[in-house]
């Protein structure tokens, strides 16, 4: 699925099931909440924390998808093409960091 397809899919889902988009502010708060849920799983799966009795690592992909869904909502609401934004971002990183990481002794 392309970014464009994902943005259309989310927009269609919102129209069919969500009534309307939440406000940009509400969606930004929801994005932070979803990132926190993702961070909790990562901290427990890859960090020093252990899972509580009612928790598992099974939700990692679902939490990533939740983050992506809300981010796509925000892109749709604000008129951002994620495809164009991502391409520009990769170009920026390539120009800025083309040798930076290769020259970082901490990575070797």
Q: What's the whole-number average pLDDT of the chain?
A: 95
- Flag whether pLDDT at 94 surpasses 90: yes
| Residue 12, in any domain of the structure | yes
C-alpha to C-alpha distances, 9 to 1, 5, 56, 62, 94, nearest whole angstrom: 10, 6, 29, 17, 30
In 10 A of CB 8, how many CB atoms? 14
| Residue 91, in any domain of the structure | no
Domain that holds residue 57: 3-82
Domain tally, the chain: 1
At 108, list the tokens.
Answer: 């070797």
Helices (H) and strands (E) in the chain, counts: 4, 0
| Residue 31, in any domain of the structure | yes
| Residue 103, in any domain of the structure | no
13, HSE (Cβ side, Cα atoms, 13 Å): 11
Give the CATH number of the domain where residue 54 resides: 1.10.287.1080
Q: What is the pLDDT of residues 9-46, one digit of tens each?
A: 999 999 999 999 999 999 999 999 999 999 999 999 99
| Residue 25, in any domain of the structure | yes
Q: What is the model's pTM? A: 0.90
């Amino acid at each position: 699925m392309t970014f464009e397809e994902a943005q259309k899919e989310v927009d269609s889902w919102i129209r069919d099931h969500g009534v309307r988009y939440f406000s940009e502010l509400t969606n930004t708060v929801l994005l932070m909440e979803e990132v926190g849920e993702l961070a909790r799983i990562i901290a427990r799966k890859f960090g020093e924390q252990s899972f509580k009795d009612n928790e598992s690592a099974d939700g990692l992909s679902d939490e990533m998808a939740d983050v992506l869904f809300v981010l796509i909502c925000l892109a749709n609401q604000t008129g951002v093409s994620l495809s164009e934004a991502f391409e520009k971002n990769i170009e920026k990183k390539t120009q800025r960091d083309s040798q930076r990481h290769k020259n970082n002794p901490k990575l070797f």
